[in-house]
Amino acid sequence: MPSVPHTFDTVPQVWPHRHLLDLERLTPGEIRLLLDTAAQLKEATAGCRRKLTILAGRTIVNLFFENSTRTRTSFSLAARRLGADVVEFSASGSSLSKGESFIDTAKNLEAMGIDAVVVRHSTPGTPHLLAQHLDVGVINAGDGAHEHPTQGLLDIFSIRERLGDISGATVGLVGDIAHSRTARSNVWGLLKLGAKVIVCGPPTLVSKRWEELGVEVSHNLDNIVPRCDVLNLLRIQFERQNTRPFPSVREYAHLYAMTGERLKRARKDLLILAPGPINRGVEVTADVADCPQSLILDQVTNGLAVRMATLWLTCGNRLPQTDQAGHAQPGLSAEGTL
Amino acid sequence: MKKTLLISGGRVIDPAQGIDRVADVWVRDGRILAITGGTGPGEPLPESADETLAAAGLIVSPGLVDMHVHLREPGREEAETIATGTQAALAGGFTSVACIPNTEPPIDTQAAVEFVHQKAVRADTCNVFVVACVSRNREGKELAEIGQLVEAGAVAFSDDGAPVYDAELMRRAFEYCRMFDKPILAHEEVLELSRGGVMHEGLVSLVLGLTGMPAAAEEVMIGRDTALAESTDGRLHVMHVSTAGGVDLIRAAKARGVRVTAEACPHHFTLTDEALRGFDASCKMSPPLRTAADVEAIIAGIADGTIDCIATDHAPHAPETKMLELDRAPFGILGLETAVGLSVSRLIATGRIGWPRLIEALSTLPASILGIGRGTLRPGAPADITLIDPDLTWQVDVRSFRSKSVNSPFQGWTLRGRAVATIVAGRIKYRLA
């Protein structure tokens, strides 16, 4: 059962954060609250199609220092579905190309009277640094290979929607784990909710060190396919490599692509996720991407629900006084809620 | 007029003479005159002094020597100048610094060495010794005019900031420097392995998604250079050792009789890669902060003498450059004004080494590696003396630093031990207010 009422009058007090920077530092209860809120908003918006006004009067800035189409669009739509105004800011063509620091850029936007920035950047930690320098909410839309919390949440949301409960489920993350922010957010979220996580790929992309976090490490996809309830197929981030971590795409696909052949050896109800953009024929073949167990398009819809929940929880209330860690000080009453 | 300075009643430690006792140090005409007195009261003084510094409860050490300092001038005066950097040195208790030549332009000519000397004379602060480039224009292609640089006063050679990448050039440098008996100070890094890296490659870099610089990047290069030093009988000084494997390689090379010395930086025996969890660019340096096991190995290496000395790798950067994203921010942190406090807090207060070993690491050995005729209180030596309060606890405040920059990860830390007076050639150049 959802843990918050359907009214969206005020953000529940159990949500203490002004920012959403990563899943590593959220509690299991906070992650559940985010997922439950997303479920309610999905329902209240008739599957993310209808519009609400619970963020009317708020202004959200999409501050993207790195190219993105789907995440940016998803955040924009999520904000508009809740009645917020959205401003798009791209690094190209801005003063950044004139040498301004990213902190100065963000401070300028803040001075224009905004409520939250959704930030994507190729460098890990950039949203965290912004959160230290800004008074408005900061939502991480992907920071390098570090985290992509809303992607992790929407993956888990999509699994939960099918399985009901995620604890005890076995989730395999396959592919370029080393350079994947999606992998990291999935690992934290899944572990906190009690799932078993396997990371799978060649040793050049899957470090043995993952075991220190309580994750199983495998270099053999055929071995793990029969054991998994869910497979999340991550793309190869060619743009983040110094030297290619495997001899050829052909060889990679031979060893690690999820194919119809491999699907035959999986459980009948195996769920297939892929955060996209997917490289058909590399990490997944077309027959698997389009099979009935594929949640790839559910993920996209659920992305809206999760991002609506994130925006609502982080800026549904005005919290004029927060401490440095971004936690609301106790005793503050919510104001300006709609 | 010859003025006499008396430093009375301190714990005088001079490892070069095997002295560690409460005594009086007499200075005249810029040189050490005598060390007198023992533990008993009433011993006759040789004469009266014009000025007396009461040093009861203080350590009286030969002036500290930092053999790895980036003074940034010429070229990066917005970050540090020879005047401000040497002021910071004095405040940290250092009477001599060796400045590293990765300036703009690099120090690879007699004129450039002369420029630094002149600026140091004008600053009238501590002694500045010049480390000159191994290679012309620090490009790693051909040797700089090492013989002429020695004539101009260069005390050692280094392309620090980067390794001497061409193994044959490094071999030639070892061979060539042998005739001047000058050491090569080596930045040990295999660049292909650390390319794009911002921190140590380990569990923390994995969690943070930051590109790592593996320990092997340092160890492989230390392996190469110890082999080259061994085969040429050249003098290798390994700068800023940061890895347990590096310490082991140096220990093994010393056991074989290779002419190798080494230094470690206070941050490398104080912080670990965990410090990067806040994504703070003031924790970004090369070599990077490593693991707790590496920290332990470095402390053990200092304790057993594998690592000869402590050097700061003082690397000022203007604040705007450290406000950039972590991968765009430059490597390096300040070191001069926290070195004594960190060393005392991490090495003495924890019982890992005693005071004579610390003084050896901060003065005796760096002075002897550089061959600068300092690092001792022997009568006749230049009267470079540092007074250290071993028990003073104080809080680091970068706003009070004399350095022009503020890039220190130790802001707000409470440290134990601090230089309270710094004397250069008999003149009191710094006193803690």
* Domain co-membership, A283 together with A311: no
pTM over 0.80: yes
Task: Answer whether A144 sits within 8 Å of B209, measured CB to CB.
Answer: yes
The ipTM, to two decimals, is 0.89
* Domain co-membership, A166 together with A113: no
Domain membership of residue A8 (yes or no) is no
* Domain co-membership, A169 together with A288: yes
pLDDT at A77: 96
Domain membership of residue A334 (yes or no) is no
Residues 280-339 of B with CB under 8 A from A: 320, 323-328
Task: Answer whether B325 sits within 8 Å of A126, measured CB to CB.
Answer: yes
Domain membership of residue A322 (yes or no) is no
Residue of A nearest to B204 (CA): A209
Token readout for A49 is: 């199609």
Neighboring chain B residues of A125 at a CB cutoff of 8 Å = 208, 210, 279, 325-326
Task: Answer whether B324 sits within 8 Å of A102, measured CB to CB.
Answer: yes
Residue of A nearest to B191 (CA): A242
Average pLDDT of chain A to the nearest whole number: 88
Domain membership of residue A325 (yes or no) is no
Domain membership of residue A22 (yes or no) is no
pLDDT at A331: 31
Q: What pLDDT digit, counting tens, does each position of B161-200 carry? A: 999 999 999 999 999 999 999 999 999 999 999 999 999 9
Please tell me the distance from the alpha carbon of residue B394 to that of residue B382, in angstroms, as a whole number.
Answer: 30
CA distance B291 to chain A (A): 14
Neighboring chain A residues of B210 at a CB cutoff of 8 Å = 124-125, 144-146
pLDDT at A69: 86
Cα angle for residues B72, B74, B76 (degrees, 5° grid): 50
Q: What pLDDT digit, counting tens, does each position of B305-364 carry? A: 999 999 999 999 998 887 888 988 999 999 999 999 999 999 999 999 999 999 999 999
Token readout for A106 is: 């963000």
Task: Answer whether B202 sits within 8 Å of A209, measured CB to CB.
Answer: yes
Positive or negative, the CA dihedral B375, B378, B379, B385 is positive
CB proximity B151 to A under 8 Å? no
Q: Please list, residue by residue across B213-230, b when 16 or more beta carbons sit within 10 angstroms of its beta carbon and e when fewer do.
A: bbbebbbbbbbbbbbbbb
CA distance B307 to chain A (A): 30
CB proximity A325 to B under 8 Å? no
Residue of A nearest to B212 (CA): A178
Task: Answer whether B326 sits within 8 Å of A143, measured CB to CB.
Answer: no
CA distance B192 to chain A (A): 9
* Domain co-membership, A218 together with A242: yes
* Domain co-membership, A305 together with A188: no
* Domain co-membership, A284 together with A161: yes
Model confidence at B389: pLDDT above 70: yes
Mind telling me the catalytic residues of B? 313
Cα angle for residues A327, A329, A331 (degrees, 5° grid): 140
pLDDT-derived band at B404, boundaries 50, 70, 90: very high
pLDDT at A244: 85
* Domain co-membership, A287 together with A158: yes
* Domain co-membership, A198 together with A182: yes
* Domain co-membership, A289 together with A170: yes
If one compares A262 and A94, the residue with the highest pLDDT of the two is A262
Nearest CB to A121: which of B195, B210, B325? B325
Number of domains in chain A: 2
Q: What pLDDT digit, counting tens, does each position of B256-312 carry? A: 999 999 999 999 999 999 999 999 999 999 999 999 999 999 999 999 999 999 999
pLDDT-derived band at B46, boundaries 50, 70, 90: low
* Domain co-membership, A167 together with A257: yes
Domain membership of residue A179 (yes or no) is yes
Query: Which residue's structure tokens are 């190209």?
Result: A92
Average pLDDT of chain B to the nearest whole number: 96
CATH of the domain at A193: 3.40.50.1370
Domain membership of residue A337 (yes or no) is no
CB proximity B215 to A under 8 Å? no
Please tell me the distance from the alpha carbon of residue A207 to that of residue A213, in angstroms, as a whole number.
Answer: 11
Q: Residues with Cβ < 8 Å from A240, sequence gap 6 or more? A: A145, A179
- What is the mean predicted confidence (pLDDT) over B5-12? 96
Please tell me the distance from the alpha carbon of residue B230 to that of residue B372, in angstroms, as a whole number.
Answer: 24
CB B24, CB B300: distance < 8 Å:
no
Distance of CA B282 to the CA centre of its chain: 19
* Domain co-membership, A154 together with A256: yes
**Long-range CB pairs of A161-164, under 8 A, 24+ apart, other chains included:** A161/A39, A161/A298, A161/A302, A162/A271, A162/A295, A163/A229, A163/A230, A163/A271
Neighboring chain B residues of A237 at a CB cutoff of 8 Å = none
Domain hosting residue A111, numbered range: 28-147+301-315
Model confidence at A271: pLDDT above 80: yes
Pairing mode, strands B184-186 and B199-200? unpaired
* Domain co-membership, A73 together with A199: no
Q: What is the DSSP letter of B360?
A: I
pLDDT at A324: 40
CB pairs under 8 A between A and B: 56
Model confidence at B112: pLDDT above 80: yes
Q: What pLDDT digit, counting tens, does each position of B64-99 carry? A: 999 999 999 999 999 999 999 999 999 999 999 999
The domains located in chain B, with CATH, are: 4-60+382-431 (2.30.40.10), 64-370 (3.20.20.140)
Q: Which amino acid is at B85?
A: G
